[in-house]
Structure 1
């Protein structure tokens, strides 16, 4: 196994994880419409990245296909939605939201580093397919990071000083 395959595996795992976490945060904070809708949209980006990595993997001797993400209609999702509605806007959900945003930011930052590593390796190896993949997906990952960072900057003062 060479370095590119290691990065492809790590990136596939990271994008799949980020998609799942974004979907979970969207459900957990369903009453905050901006968080819910933006996180849902950003999860779709990571799911697309996961699929594109899976599609590219066979060329490098990898099989990154796997079971699809859990359906959105399962019992746990329903429970999260009801719990979110029940707790409303008390300070505890605010602290939970800050924690969730921080974790999402760190997950996206890790993916960003992997996209950069993949792009650098593709450039060095003159692999236009991988370079194109990284060049089209990495900017969306950077936007995911900017969104989490902006939300943390916006929400942190009111949540932390309102305790």
Structure 2
């Protein structure tokens, strides 16, 4: 029941409509749990994995790549990064090549006999702050049966540089 509710209503970050003008584009601030990324079972590729990947990438290119690239600004990145670490973005200007992303399916869940996949890509390396390496990640929730992306989530992922 909870899973079907998650799929039915996109999670919305607390941002103004002017900041995220694309329906289905969600912002997840750094360190936010994204249920379909962090709790779903790991994806095990089946015999039609290449075809599913091709259809996903076609939908990304046709409907999502351009609007998402226009939406990613320094102000948007500041909303995603922890307040204490925003100083590192002072001179940063995102240089995104969303056409050349390397997508990989990471999790999968079946709801009412319809499979959903989550695809992941690293869109940009962000400035290092306080020994933390950060990346802008894009997660796409993909309805395999319909052949359509139903939600795109932007977030920051980081790890300590040892």
Q: TM-score, normalised by structure 1?
A: 0.29
Q: Which structure has the greater CA radius of gyration?
A: 1
Task: Decide which structure has greater strand share.
Answer: 2
Q: TM-score, normalised by structure 2?
A: 0.29
